[in-house]
Structure 1
Amino acid sequence: MIPALLLASPALAESGEAADAERPADIEVIGHPDPEGLLPDQTAPQAVSAISADFITKQAPTLNAFQLVNLLPGANVSTSDPYGLSTSSGLTLRGLGQDQIGVLMEGAPQNDIGYFYAYPSQFADAENVRQIVLAQGAASIDAPVVAAAGGMLSLSLDDPKAEMGGLVNLSLGSYDERRAFVRFDTGVLGGSGIKAFVSYSNNRADNWRGAGHDQRQHVDAKLLREWGDGNRASIAFSYNDAKTSAYPSPTLADWKAVGRNFNHDSRYSEGNTNYWRLYRAPFRNFYVAAPVHLKLSEQLTFDSSAYLQLGHGNAPYGTQLTETGNYLGTEELSQPIALPGAVDGLATVMGNWTGKQFRIGDVSKLTFQTGAHTITAGLWFDYGTDRVTQSYTSIGADGHPFDQWGYQDKAIRTADGRLLAYENARTETVTKGFFLADSVALTPRLTVDLGFKGVDVLRNGRNYLPGPQSDVRSNSFAALPRAALHYKLDDRQQLFANITTNFRTPNEFALYNSYYGGELVSAGSGNLKNEYSVSEELGYRYIGPSLSFSLTAFHYHFRNRQVATVVNSGGALVNSTINGGSQTSYGLDGEIDYRPAKGVSVYISGEYLHTRLGDDLPVGGDLLPTKGKRAVSSPEFQFALGTTYDDGRLFGSTALKYVGRQYATFMNDESIKGYATLDLSIGMHLAGLIDAQRMDLRLNAINVTNPHVLSGVYSVSSNAQDTIGRGGTLIAGSAPAYYVGSGRAFVATLSRAF
């Protein structure tokens, strides 16, 4: 279907071209348009913020999507490295983690099907991104995502250019940063009407702290065909091949003891499980998105977004194995295991946590306009498989693993040839959804939106380890009504209000048993309670010629709040969740964009967030007294200030972000202090000095003040200090872990179009 649409006849475009010819050539603009797209005009009946390519092109080209939205209201970004290469990063919106934020690229979901995480280092290169939209309150009704109570982040890729050309970016920076980016646009191919681009980038940088280095190769491509009155069909491809060294996350005690020196070891010695090469993670991912928009008649349109994802990678770690006394699930192995390099029956090995994912899906909808009504009806289908194996690979005398990918044919096996594994499972996830919405224009100024979405999530899995568990199953259905109101006070002022529902299933890790030493240590279950939330927003928006701003009040109520954390599963750090019971949150988001002169913009955003837990937390047969405490990873205050300048020759920007105190435990007995970061950039447009082609030279300073801080919560705990439960038992404390804020970095980039 897509190739046929791409080759559709261009004759249908004639009426549109004729209409363009009748439009006036000159339009007078009063005021100063936003030069950076930090607060583009919005009409949605909900809080929406965005950044455009005008802003993105002035930032360091290494930054990922999470880092780029750091200035927007409610966005709390925790990064482990200045260049955005590491997968150790976090994003919260209004205190809700990235496993609660739906992420789309060209309409295709980017979240992990098993754990709901999205990994921004795998997304498209910044040079190919046209716009990033952040909807802080909720995902749109037709979005193919679940677990989106925190909102939605949407990336739109740049369309291929109408004329043949290209772009080359070359960057050098701190920590031996080297990056090259090349893009080629075909222009319109003959009489087909098809235009396309393809790009390739290669990025390498040493770890800014500790030993190791990161490498990333990336390919983006897009084919587009437009015809008639707004019809368009496209196919976008994105391929990512990366090898990144994990940054270890310290506890507060580790941080106070050694600070930024809490790292993996640079040299290997016998028995050392902390050698950096044992923590170097390779991943390959391939994404395809094929959005289509067809105007079937004056009243009826059809939209479809088909997508495909393939991924494989390893998140390894160092550990030790003995030749005897091993178990496979609950089965004791009577025969010794052959371990190369073992000394006195003990060998240092690389533990693997490998994942192989396949996902395919489509969301399609019809939109019908009749009188005051705009009616939308659609279906969503998503099928995915996730094969997770925690195996072991031998290493050489120099500490180098025999196979960094953790492939089974090179992994350690039992005496009878079976794979020695701590975890070995395959999960199949089928998501089916439908939605129906009606937007009613009651008056020229007042619009009411009503909608309903039903989503069913089915998980079928198989645990391949010997033991009492084999097949697992979980099936959940959620009814998700919503309503919104939008009122135009005049041409510049808007009021909006909405109420939205969301749900989230526990992740797939919760389905499976965990065994250690032949004993069951954690029982999996398919009957765990789903999170369900109701959120409301009330907002005001002003769009002026030189000043624009918005203010949104929000409120959430959660049942069975699923809080993401990281647990140690046989040595591997695995994403998991804690059921935090009920929770209430409310607050204010605001943003202002002031443009006092042409090419000058001042942007200010802020958030106040109040959170309270509504229940005591069950721990070990007792109740931890958490009712009334603040939610984890939910700073009460955030503030951002950004400025930009561009006079056509010189340009520059500043970006200041402050994030307040964040609690890391449900008991609020451990937290990290508030901190601020500052990014600067300066550059020159060189077009006209050599020829008329675009040519820029810029210098970006990332985190220029270089504060030594913990930037976010990596893994939460119930309580850090020993606490007496409601029933009188002693509940032992456990230490949370944290992201270490990245160090200062400078990047110089020469950009040349041809």
Structure 2
Amino acid sequence: MALHHKHLLALAISTALGLSASVAAEEAAVAAADEQEVEVLAITGKRISYANNSTDEAIKHTKAPIGNVLDLVSQLPGISIGQGDAFGGDDWSTTISMRGFNVNGSEQQLGITVDGLPNGGSGYGGGSKANRYLDTENTAYVEVGQGTSDIGSASLDALGGTLNFVSANPLAEENLSIGVTGGDHNARRYYTRFDTGQIGGNTTAYFSLSDSFNNRWIGSGSNGFTDRLHGEVKTVTELENTTITARFSYDDTEEDNYNTVSLAQFFDNPEWDRLTNVWTGNPDIDQNFAEVWSTLRENSFTYVKIDTDLSDSLNLTVTPYVHMQSGRGDWMPPYQVYVEDAAGNRVSRGTGNGKLTPYMYINAAGQPILDPNADLTGATRVASYRHTHYEKDRYGLTSELKWSLDNHELRLGAWLEQQDRDESRDWHNVIDPKQYHYFDNQPYWVHYDRSYETDTQKIYLQDQISWNDLTVTLGVKQFYVDVSRKDNIVAGNEGKLDSDSDLLPSLGLVYRLNESYEVFAGYAENFKAIGDAILETDQDFANLEAETAENIDLGLRYFGDDLSLSLTYYDVQFDNRITMLQPGANGGPDYLNELDGTYVNVGGIESNGLEASLNWEFMQGWSIYSAFTSNNAEYSQTINALVLDEDGNVVNGPDGKPLVNPAAIFAGNKVAGSPETMLSLSLRYQGDAYRAGLTAKRTDTYFGAALGGNKDEIPASTVMDFYVGYSKDLSTNDMFKGIDLSLVLNNLNDENYLTGGQEGAYFIGAGRTATVTLKLDF
């Protein structure tokens, strides 16, 4: 479809969403409050036609407030969260896996939304996971749609489902909260939130601010750190027929990273990622100094949601939003680079004629010594501080029209977004490598400078039909995505691709057997557009195809007074998987590689399995929660199995047998980085004042690598968390209205384990970590 046709279609949808009440029949509607009742916050999920689970308050108790909000979903079925930092304070080492779909350094196959709005991607290079938008205390709950997400979900990454982080609403009464957290690894956090209570009889609001710091858990002294300033504002205004919700978040973070290790390195020493914490003055060693592996990000996100009842049967929701990001990623290559143009002159922008010569010394006159055999008497050692700059501005709108008519509930919606992203990389002179990594602010070389634009349009239509105990849902959606690149150094070096989806149908049903039991079934086709990162490479991307997935869920749910449970069988067909091949743990960073990897289609994936969750209050105040996952995810196609010569002939090894391509994928092999069996078990106590809980998560062995055949069997692990707390509401005559004191011990059993990574390069999980938090309400 031509681009102008897409804009016309989007305009037509947006116009339709603005229909006045006169076009609707005056039928009785399901009120918004009733809808909230339907969206039961039971940890075993909502009464809908696809597998889903939600977090509860007890899960929040198992994680310290200084932790990453992604931690909240780690106990839910089907999900594996990997974080190198003890408090999740390193985006570089954060990974997510669910049903064989991954979010890691090379793949973004799961959608993340905040209050139903898109996060702008979850990748390291310009992405923003949920922790950039939310503090744990300001998170009401997290909805996870395993495999299938809500048809209106605004994400370009939701191949394997969506994690929707829902922010808390303001309190109805005025309140001031102050929290202080301290813990291992020099952890400290200050948090304050002020709730205004009712303003003008129809508005509530809160303002919160937190300041966090912790050192890396590996090593001591100059071993790196995370420093984060985060603020949130939210207001809710209730008018006669309209609710207006506005929210703003700001996050400014500096994170020193963790390094990956090979499996052999982990077995040699499971408590060291090979980064150093002492400056030696030798760039060959100091390139691995922890404080020069850094991520700096600044994010602000604003939306205004207008939810209005146009009539008793017609509801319109419109939510414009703005997201702005700036950031940088740092490394310290142990050399500088001499770049020449066709005439042999040194250039300071771009790659010239492609001749890039690394050098490590300069002579007394400050000139590069390019001859590796030159006399180095009197020479001075040099090094670089390499910055990759990320800038992103997103402007978007989601809109949905709901129309209740007899036993039908129709949803017509659209999502429009324009994303402008700039990425550049420059190299700075390290002033004196013998002293420290202080660098000249003015770069000596700009490696590349590019601008990207992504225009996204999504439209969807869904009809939910109810007949007594049976509810059937029929839907269809389609994406139109245009991506372009402009080179700001080389004029005319541009790239463009369209990554539109086919019509993507969905079908679901829920049948209530009685008041307690229901069965459900769902089918949905999911899609992930080819992202602009593809255009960063010099590879031929014309043959890359967008990733698609067909998801089937069959399940049973039980909702009782003291017991709720959910059981789901799923089957997923995932085609055209795109991944980025990167250097392994032993290869080290390739500082001159523009993308540090190459994108390839690696065939399809078939996965099926079982997910089960149970929540049982077996006596007053005492409950058990458990989640079980059995996931069988295999590659369905063999890709590039044999080594071929220039003429396409098979190359044999010394033994006369064909050589196996080390980058091959083999049908029937297990999907790398996807745990097959996981079991979570929690025992909880919640009394009037005291609370306590013990949680254990068992992850069985799985393969960490797949290229050239499955290898690197990641050892099984059992990680336990413990919490205990005291909370008391005080008299209004006391100095404080309430007090809360809690102790959290993560990895109670001090397990040595690996926590995510990719293809031969893995992150080490943090050891036992204790935090104490005191919270006062005024």
| TM tier relative to shorter chain | 0.7 to 0.9
Map 1:333-372 → 2, pairs under 5 A: 344=379, 347-372=382-407
Greater mean deviation of Cα atoms: 576-585 or 683-692: 683-692
Paired position in structure 2 for 1:86? 90
**C-alpha separation between the residues in 1 aligned to 2:711 and 2:282?**
39
Decide which of 484, 502, 507 is 1:460's aligned counterpart.
484
**C-alpha separation between the residues in 2 aligned to 1:308 and 1:575?**
31
Report deviation, 1:386: 1.4
Greater mean deviation of Cα atoms: 527-536 or 355-364: 527-536
Q: Is 1:257 aligned with 2:279?
A: no
Paired position in structure 1 for 2:413? 378
Map 1:313-712 → 2, pairs under 5 A: 313-322=327-336, 324=338, 328-331=350-353, 344=379, 347-397=382-432, 398-402=435-439, 410-413=441-444, 420-441=445-466, 443-466=467-490, 470-478=493-501, 479-514=503-538, 523-563=539-579, 566=582, 570=591, 574=596, 577-618=599-640, 621=644, 624=664, 626-666=666-706, 667-688=709-730, 693-712=737-756
Q: String of CA shifts for 1:571-592, please: whole Å, max 9, x gaps.
A: 5775865422022110000001
Paired position in structure 1 for 2:18? none
Q: In structure 1, give the amino acid aligned to 2:532.
A: E
**C-alpha separation between the residues in 1 aligned to 2:475 and 2:63?**
39
**C-alpha separation between the residues in 2 aligned to 1:336 and 1:155?**
46
Q: In structure 2, give the amino acid aligned to 1:260.
A: E
Paired position in structure 1 for 2:135? 125
Cα distance change on mapping 1:336 and 1:113 into 2, 3 Å: closer
Paired position in structure 2 for 1:300? 314
Equivalent residues of 1:37, 1:51 under 8 A apart: yes
Report deviation, 1:292: 2.2
Q: String of CA shifts for 1:138-184, please: whole Å, max 9, x gaps.
A: 22111111221221111111111222211111111011111110001
Report deviation, 1:252: 1.9
Report deviation, 1:330: 4.7
Decide which of 124, 135, 147 is 2:145's aligned counterpart.
135
**C-alpha separation between the residues in 2 aligned to 1:69 and 1:752?**
27
Paired position in structure 2 for 1:220? 232
Q: Is 1:715 aligned with 2:758?
A: yes
Paired position in structure 1 for 2:43? 39
CA-atom RMSD, angstroms? 2.7
**C-alpha separation between the residues in 1 aligned to 2:634 and 2:161?**
20
Q: Flag structure 1 segments of 5+ consecutive residues without an equivalent.
A: 1-18, 20-35, 404-409, 414-419, 515-522, 717-735
Paired position in structure 2 for 1:520? none
**C-alpha separation between the residues in 2 aligned to 1:524 and 1:278?**
33
Report deviation, 1:662: 2.4
- Equivalent pairs, count: 676
Cα distance change on mapping 1:261 and 1:58 into 2, 3 Å: closer
User: What SS does the corresponding residue of 1:595 show, helix, strand or coil?
Assistant: strand
**C-alpha separation between the residues in 2 aligned to 1:341 and 1:215?**
38
Equivalent residues of 2:194, 2:207 under 8 A apart: yes
Greater mean deviation of Cα atoms: 598-607 or 610-619: 610-619
Q: Is 1:285 aligned with 2:289?
A: no
Equivalent residues of 1:288, 1:308 under 8 A apart: yes
Q: In structure 2, give the amino acid aligned to 1:119.
A: K
Q: In structure 2, give the amino acid aligned to 1:236.
A: R
**C-alpha separation between the residues in 1 aligned to 2:425 and 2:565?**
50
Q: Flag structure 2 segments of 5+ consecutive residues without an equivalent.
A: 1-30, 32-39, 342-349, 369-377, 584-588, 645-649, 651-660
Equivalent residues of 2:85, 2:766 under 8 A apart: yes
Q: In structure 2, give the amino acid aligned to 1:95.
A: G
Equivalent residues of 2:210, 2:231 under 8 A apart: yes
User: What SS does the corresponding residue of 2:514 show, helix, strand or coil?
Assistant: coil
Equivalent residues of 1:320, 1:346 under 8 A apart: no
**C-alpha separation between the residues in 1 aligned to 2:520 and 2:686?**
34
Q: In structure 1, give the amino acid aligned to 2:758.
A: S
Q: Is 1:168 aligned with 2:178?
A: yes
Report deviation, 1:693: 1.9
User: What SS does the corresponding residue of 2:213 show, helix, strand or coil?
Assistant: strand
Q: String of CA shifts for 1:645-695, please: whole Å, max 9, x gaps.
A: 111121111111111222122211222111110000011123349667221
User: What SS does the corresponding residue of 1:66 show, helix, strand or coil?
Assistant: helix
User: What SS does the corresponding residue of 1:509 show, helix, strand or coil?
Assistant: helix
Q: In structure 2, give the amino acid aligned to 1:363.
A: T
Cα distance change on mapping 1:749 and 1:650 into 2, 3 Å: same
User: What SS does the corresponding residue of 2:266 show, helix, strand or coil?
Assistant: helix
- Report the TM-score, using the length of structure 2 for normalisation: 0.82
Cα distance change on mapping 1:346 and 1:38 into 2, 3 Å: farther
User: What SS does the corresponding residue of 2:332 show, helix, strand or coil?
Assistant: strand
Task: Among all aligned residue pairs of Structure 1 and Structure 2, give the percentage whose two residues are the same amino acid.
Answer: 22
Report deviation, 1:238: 0.9
User: What SS does the corresponding residue of 1:670 show, helix, strand or coil?
Assistant: strand
**C-alpha separation between the residues in 1 aligned to 2:354 and 2:99?**
48
Q: Is 1:186 aligned with 2:196?
A: yes
Equivalent residues of 2:537, 2:598 under 8 A apart: no
User: What SS does the corresponding residue of 1:511 show, helix, strand or coil?
Assistant: helix
Report deviation, 1:266: 1.8
